[in-house]
Amino acid sequence: MMKTITVLPGDGIGPEVTASAVRVLKSIFSTSNRNVQFIEKKIGGAAIDAYGTPLPQETIDQCHHSDAILLGAVGGPKWNQQSMQLRPEQGLLGIRKAMGLFANLRPVEAFQALVDASPLKQSFVEQVDFVIVRELTGGLYFGRPSERLGPNQDRVVDTLAYSRQEIQRVVEKAFQLALKRRRKITSIDKANVLESSRMWREVVNETAKRYPEVAVTHQLVDSAAMQLITNPSQFDVLVTENMFGDILSDEASVLTGSLGMMPSASLRADKVGLYEPAHGSAPDIAGQGKANPLATILSAALLLRYSLDMDTEAAQIETAVRQILNQGIHTSDLHVANHEDQIVSTSEMTDHVIHAI
Amino acid sequence: MMKTITVLPGDGIGPEVTASAVRVLKSIFSTSNRNVQFIEKKIGGAAIDAYGTPLPQETIDQCHHSDAILLGAVGGPKWNQQSMQLRPEQGLLGIRKAMGLFANLRPVEAFQALVDASPLKQSFVEQVDFVIVRELTGGLYFGRPSERLGPNQDRVVDTLAYSRQEIQRVVEKAFQLALKRRRKITSIDKANVLESSRMWREVVNETAKRYPEVAVTHQLVDSAAMQLITNPSQFDVLVTENMFGDILSDEASVLTGSLGMMPSASLRADKVGLYEPAHGSAPDIAGQGKANPLATILSAALLLRYSLDMDTEAAQIETAVRQILNQGIHTSDLHVANHEDQIVSTSEMTDHVIHAI
Ligand SMILES: CC(C)[C@H](C(=O)O)[C@@H](O)C(=O)O
Ligand SMILES: CC(C)[C@H](C(=O)O)[C@@H](O)C(=O)O
């Protein structure tokens, strides 16, 4: 049966890094004899330029008919002055919501070859291996009202809203994931201040009863922001609401030494998912062949694992990436001054990965 | 004219560390011939035990008749099971709100003697010297509604609410502070998603026009969570709303190697302020003479500076603390295994500070 992957290159370095990941996927599909078609659509600034909207209906429709979506990055100075509804980010928020992709998974793993590039001392990062599960379609990002109030429009509100069911489904995902890992969940909230956090904590505790084999702890978000740096190896699966997850997952990315290494998967209850690097569109280096494609290539590995049940091939990509880094082959973002590593371009790095697989 | 300092020891190690800071202050007032009275009141768990409420009216009244308030810490396992309104934290949130202390200042500075204790590599932390200005009486912490909704109570909302004036006054504080420092402000928001952040950014930009000598940049909160670790020396004054400030200021505390070193000041438009260490009540080591009193002693220095116009004496305390650390005199929380430092108790550390002044 033919599978469909929709590719949304987006802006900046998005086209370069998705092209790399597509090449890696095609080489895997050809050796494993899988019938997969790739269809490209516009999102973000590129879609604003072509259609006057960051998320054309055509893009949404195509995504609805896909088994998986591979996204590059959106945004750039060109569209910064636009009104809110015409900003590239709205394409990203819109597609997550339209597809109901409520669980964003961000694996954070130390790459032995890159510990020198981390701002942290080696002893703090070498054992790091956890996944952040961020709720992605609720909370402050989508709650209404989100508007100015009062006769002079001099008051403003945003709304952090959740239904119990929205919390349940993402917490359930986290427990399922923990079963396949070290069976430890850290749920992060601000239950000493927020009512939504108290409901969150209740749902986690109720769910925990159905998973007696999973050890559950709760951490306050401020404390978690410290512990991510002072004791990151304590974590296995972290689960938290949308805004806390946004902040903590970017913070956690510093552990690995480069945002250029961080993949992400946005999932729902079935197998359909959207996969994208955690980094942005880096307009300053776009089109120069300097972009690090590894975060997108590692996102493609997650695509194989979660959307196409190709665990073996996913692991092959991950092993290949590790191997190449161990050989001292780096893109320029990973370069550590005093190392004799070999700096390669986006497409050379992609060739290395394909070759190593 | 006699000045009044209200001391709110609170729970856990609160009584020990405030006692230390009071001793330091008394020694300073006696040599400088200042007439200051100290009045002690209960807050938090201690107030729940004595009066059935974490913030007795008597405590509020006394604070309203004070020039400054010195607070230890609140909370502990004993009161964890209480209903929300009876939790020790409500005392802390309540006194901030009752006193209108809208600007929380947290200086973050590397202590040369402690860089080894930081999880970060020395080169990343050495130059660190910034202040986080956190809005303290608005946003998600106090917005209404904050409640369960629906026939089955299965929906929940919290509200992030600000008035333009609430934003203005704290932004103004940040600019005033920047004038006395390196004249750089980084305002942190999530303007690509939140309406409240867009108002925040507008107010910062308007205020900036009145301070042409201050350089202003905006950072998204997720990006700031990274940059605090990867490039902390770029910052001079950071200003942000309540919840972002809560998360980022605790995150920033890891730079200095110990929460035991972090003072804070909560201010309003006049000179009245509340001063407290950034650490918690540490019930596990309470009453053992192990607590590090330096965060509270450094908070007392801020009290002298901001509430009593005693800049010279404030600097004396800060210099004394630096000197003692350089001599290798540490409390046990600062101990780095391979160092030949001298571990002292809470009261010995206090003696050292008084002696060094
Ligand atoms: C671009 C922005 C809206 C987005 C978010 O905050 O979700 C990004 O920061 C991310 O984390 O994917
Ligand atoms: C105890 C808690 C409510 C408080 C806060 O979040 O404000 C604390 O974390 C702080 O930062 O002073």
A312 CB-near residues (< 8 Å, 6+ apart): none
Say yes or no for a CB contact (<8 Å) between A143 and B157: yes
Q: Which atom of ligand 2 sits closest to the CA of residue B136?
A: 7
Lowest mean pLDDT among A4-18, A32-46, B247-261: B247-261
Name the domain boundary from A256, A284, A306: A256
Lowest mean pLDDT, pick from A129-133, A309-313, B5-9, B85-89: B85-89
pLDDT band at B326 (very low <50, low <70, confident <90, very high): very high
DSSP per position, B18-75: HHHHHHHHHHHHHHTT--EEEEE---THHHHHHHSSSS-HHHHHHHHT-SEEEEEE--
Q: Measure Cα distances from A70 to A25, A306, A353 in Å.
A: 11, 13, 18
Chain B hits for A156, CB-CB cut-off 8 Å, are 161-164, 195-196, 199
Residue in A40, A49, A33 with CA at minimum distance from that of residue A4: A40
Answer yes or no: do B192 and A120 touch at CB < 8 A. Answer: no
Predicted pLDDT at A224: 98
What mean pLDDT comes out for the span A11-22?
A: 98
Q: Of A325-334, B272-281, B298-307, where does mean pLDDT reach its minimum?
A: A325-334
Judged by DSSP in three states, B129 sits in strand
The confidence band for B263, taking pLDDT boundaries of 50, 70 and 90, is very high
Q: Are residues A270 and A357 in the same domain?
A: yes
Give pLDDT, residue B110: 87
| Co-location of B231 and B306 in the same domain | no
List all residues 6 or more positions away from B212 whose beta carbon is below 8 Å from its beta carbon.
Answer: none
Do B21 and B293 contact (CB within 8 A), yes or no? yes
Give the ligand 2 atom nearest the CA of A192.
Answer: 3
Confidence of residue A86 (pLDDT cuts 50, 70, 90): confident
Its sign, for the CA torsion A277, A279, A283, A284, is negative
Q: Give nearest CA residue, ligand 2 atom 6.
A: B246
A113 within domain boundaries: no
Tell me, yes or no, whether B240 and B342 share the same domain: no
Distance CA A102, CA A215 (A): 23
Q: Which pLDDT belongs to residue A179?
A: 97
Question: Is the CB of B221 less than 8 angstroms away from the CB of A246?
Answer: yes
* Å from CA of A138 to ligand 1 middle: 13
Q: Supply the range of the domain harboring residue A328.
A: 1-108+258-357
The pLDDT, as a whole number, for residue B65 is 98
Rounded to the nearest angstrom, the gap between the alpha carbon of residue A341 and the centroid of all alpha carbons in its chain is 28
In this structure, is the dihedral angle defined by the CA atoms of residues A71, A75, A79 and A85, taken in order, positive or negative? Answer: positive
B229, B243, B248 member nearest A119 (Cβ) = B229
Token pair in block for residue B81: 């099971």
Of A158, A163, A246, the CB nearest to B196: A158
Does residue A339 register a pLDDT over 70?
Answer: no
For B333-347, write each residue's pLDDT tens digit. 876 655 678 899 999
Residues B236 and B128 in one domain: yes
Contacts of A120 in chain B (CB under 8 A): 119-121, 229
B123 and B252 in a single domain? The answer is yes
Give the CA count within 13 Å in the CB-facing half-sphere of B351. 6
Looking at residue A334, its pLDDT comes to 79
Note the ligand closest to the C-alpha atom of B250: 2
pLDDT at A19: 98
Which tens digits make up the pLDDT trace of B118-154? Answer: 899 998 888 999 999 999 999 999 999 999 999 999 9
Ligand 2, CB cutoff 6 Å, lining residues = A 192-193, 222; B 89, 92-93, 246
For a substitution probing ligand 1, which of A11, A97, A246 has the most ligand atoms within 8 Å of its CB?
A246
Is residue B11 pLDDT above 60, yes or no? Answer: yes
Tell me what pLDDT residue B117 has.
81
Give the per-residue pLDDT at B337. Answer: 56
| Mean predicted confidence (pLDDT) in B228-251 | 97
Report pLDDT for A115.
Answer: 83
Closest Cα to atom 3, ligand 1: which residue?
A89
Q: Are residues B139 and B222 in the same domain?
A: yes
| Sequence-distant (≥ 6) Cβ neighbours of residue A159 within 8 angstroms | A140, A143, A144, A145, A146, B157, B158, B159, B160
Distance B235 CA to ligand 2 centre (A): 23
Scanning the structure block, which residue is given the tokens 């302020």? B273
* C-alpha span between A199 and A252 (Å, rounded): 25
pLDDT (0 to 100) of residue B258: 77
CA distance B128 to B256: 9
Q: Tell me, what's the pLDDT at A216?
A: 98
Q: Determine the pLDDT at residue B160.
A: 98
Work out how many domains chain B is built from and give that number. 2
User: Ligand 2 centre from B255 Cα, in Å?
Assistant: 19
Which residues are within 8 A (CB) of A297 and not within 5 positions of it... i.e. 6 or more apart?
A20, A21, A24, A317, A321, A350, A353
E strand or H helix that includes residue B309: none
Distance (Å) from the C-alpha of residue A319 to the closest C-alpha of chain B? 27
Task: Evaluate whether residue B213 is within a structural domain.
Answer: yes
Give residue A240's pLDDT band: very low, low, confident or very high (50, 70, 90): very high
Looking at per-residue pLDDT, the higher value among B243 and A340 belongs to: B243
Average the pLDDT over A308-323 and give the result. Answer: 97
Please tell me the pTM assigned to this model: 0.96
For residue B77, being part of any structural domain is answered with yes
Residue A345, CA distances (Å) to A24, A70, A144 in order: 15, 21, 45
Predicted pLDDT of residue B335: 65
- A234 and A125 within one domain: yes
CA distance A99 to A257: 32
pLDDT tier at A64, thresholds 50, 70, 90: very high
Among B299, B243, B257, B230, smallest CA distance to A257 is for B230
Can you tell me which atom of ligand 2 is nearest the CA of B264? 12
How high is the pLDDT of residue B115? 83
Are B175 and B274 in a shared domain? no
Q: Residue B329: give its domain's CATH number.
A: 3.40.718.10
